Amino acid sequence: MFMFKLSKTLALTIVIALTILALAGCGQTQSTGSSSSSSSDSSQQAKSDDVIKIGTLGPLTGNTATYGISTKNGVEVAVDEVNKAGGINGKQVKLFSEDTRGDQTEAANAATKLIEQDKVIAIVGGVLSSETMTAGPIANDAKVVMISSSSTASGIPDIGDYIFRNCLSDDVQATQLAEYAAKDLGLKKFAIMFTNNDYGLSLKNAFEKKAKEVAQVVDIETYNDGESDFRAQLTKIKGFNPDALYIAGYYTEAAKIAQQAQEQGLKVQILGADGFYSPKLVELGGKAVEGAIFTAGFFADDPAEAVQNFVKAYKEKYNAEPDMFAAQAYDAAKILLSAIKNANGAGGEALQAEMAKTRDFPGITGNTSFAENGDAVKDIIILKVENGKFTKLR
């Protein structure tokens, strides 16, 4: 009996210890960093009115967490900069981060919590297009400005007047790449593989439409987020003997697709979109991604001072290279914080009006203006993987 009690106690102790460890770990990877700690210090001294509350929503856990964490990190760097410079009109910015787990229902819950409970005046998010599609209408109805830094699917700016985005739309980047691949690279036969979500579908539709105009689309295959084995699709594609394979998805799967294409002896030009932009693409894909060409909104090796300052600050804070998600989130936060300053710290209609006025905002992802519907108007960069590094083609 004593032994049973002891083993029960031991088991309970182990479970509690593991839980504490897990929570401690979560604190490390998901804390809002110095932005929240600096603001929490000030909030102890002053009322909550003396801070400006903004939120982020995106996947911090689940199989798209890597994108959500990069986005949150990018926003934190921007908030840190503003707070260190004295805040906005003397007020510190406090950041609230909500985890959507990449799930649409959770995204709606996260938006509701940020608006109703945390009383934020603006949100940077969602990360995935599907999240923004569900969280957007909630923010719009509450007259809370929401700026997504990575939801590229068509239809997002049409959610409402309070919804903005700071990224290249799928239509623009897929269309331009199809044209570039056919006219400048002389590619004639395209195969497409797309991830089965709003982002992948939107890219696929735009690329397919343009590619059919300027060349030929021989095969279209699909896959799911988090999938690992693509050989069956690639074997089928190989049978059509294409010149290029356009992967409408993120770097995590793209790296594996490129590797498995190489294993299958499928010699094609790999093409992609802004979801490719991450140092992880080369780390995961190795030689298989050598020569891959993709559209992007950010280039970390850009010698511009603002870009290099951001890269340095990001590396110092997170001991990692910033990816496209982090860079676009940083710019989105900077645009938002600038508009908040111009609106004298107010939210609602005043902030929406200031956001809509944004013209040629000098960001690290290029100069940004907002079209009438809140969509970003900015230049497209075309990058290539050469010797394990990204080089600018256009």
The residue range among 77-85, 121-129, 169-177, 259-267 that interacts with other proteins, by the rule CB under 8 A, is 259-267
Tell me if 252 contacts other proteins by CB under 8 A. yes
Residues 132-161 that bind other proteins (CB under 8 A): none
Q: How far apart are CA 332 and CA 150, in angstroms?
A: 10
Strand order in the sheet with 189-195: 216-223, 189-195, 244-248, 269-272, 293-296, 381-386, 389-392
Beta strands 244-248 and 163-165 are: unpaired
The residue range among 65-73, 154-162, 329-337, 352-360 that interacts with other proteins, by the rule CB under 8 A, is 65-73
| Residue 372 DSSP one-character state | T
Q: How far apart are CA 186 and CA 188, in angstroms?
A: 6
Tell me if 267 contacts other proteins by CB under 8 A. no
Residues 342-381 that bind other proteins (CB under 8 A): none
List 259, 308, 342, 373, residue binding other proteins (CB under 8 A): 259
Q: How far apart are CA 324 and CA 376, in angstroms?
A: 15
Tell me if 23 contacts other proteins by CB under 8 A. yes
Tell me if 177 contacts other proteins by CB under 8 A. no
| Residue listed under structure tokens 């959610």 | 159
State the nearest-atom distance from the C-beta of 257 to other proteins, in Å: 11
Which of 107, 146 has the CB closer to other proteins?
107
State the nearest-atom distance from the C-beta of 260 to other proteins, in Å: 8
Residues 269-288 that bind other proteins (CB under 8 A): 280, 283-284, 286-288
List 14, 17, 20, 46, residue binding other proteins (CB under 8 A): 14
Contacts of 10 (CB under 8 A, 6+ apart): none
Which of 14, 371 has the CB closer to other proteins?
14
Kind plus residue range of the DSSP H or E element containing 192: strand 189-195
Q: How far apart are CA 146 and CA 138, in angstroms?
A: 10
Smallest CA-to-CA distance from 94 within 151, 58, 49, 141 is with 49
Smallest CA-to-CA distance from 122 within 144, 92, 153, 154 is with 144
List 6, 11, 304, 371, residue binding other proteins (CB under 8 A): 11
Tell me if 18 contacts other proteins by CB under 8 A. yes
State the nearest-atom distance from the C-beta of 322 to other proteins, in Å: 14
State the nearest-atom distance from the C-beta of 233 to other proteins, in Å: 5
Which of 162, 390 has the CB closer to other proteins?
390
Tell me if 264 contacts other proteins by CB under 8 A. yes
Contacts of 41 (CB under 8 A, 6+ apart): none
Q: How far apart are CA 69 and CA 124, in angstroms?
A: 13
Smallest CA-to-CA distance from 130 within 107, 147, 98 is with 107
Cα of 4 vs its chain's centroid, Å: 51
User: How many of the chain's residues bind other proteins (CB under 8 A)?
Assistant: 49
Which of 18, 371 has the CB closer to other proteins?
18
Which of 225, 354 has the CB closer to other proteins?
225
Expressed in angstroms, the distance from the first to the final Cα of the chain is 75
Helix (H, G, I), strand (E, B) or coil at 188: coil
Which of 12, 304 has the CB closer to other proteins?
12
**Beta partners for residue 285, in sequence order:** none
Tell me if 265 contacts other proteins by CB under 8 A. yes
Which of 118, 221 has the CB closer to other proteins?
221
Tell me if 31 contacts other proteins by CB under 8 A. no
In 45-175, DSSP assigns E strands to: 51-58, 92-99, 122-125, 145-148, 163-165
The residue range among 9-17, 83-91, 179-187, 297-305 that interacts with other proteins, by the rule CB under 8 A, is 9-17
Residues 227-246 that bind other proteins (CB under 8 A): 228-229, 231-233, 235-236, 238-239
Q: How far apart are CA 104 and CA 116, in angstroms?
A: 18
- CB atoms closer than 10 angstroms to residue 14: 10
Q: How far apart are CA 194 and CA 173, in angstroms?
A: 15
Tell me if 72 contacts other proteins by CB under 8 A. no
Which spans of this chain sit near other proteins (rule: CB under 8 A)? 4, 8, 11, 14-15, 18, 21-23, 25-26, 28-30, 60-63, 65-66, 69, 196, 221-223, 226, 228-229, 231-233, 235-236, 238-239, 252, 255-256, 259, 262-265, 280, 283-284, 286-288
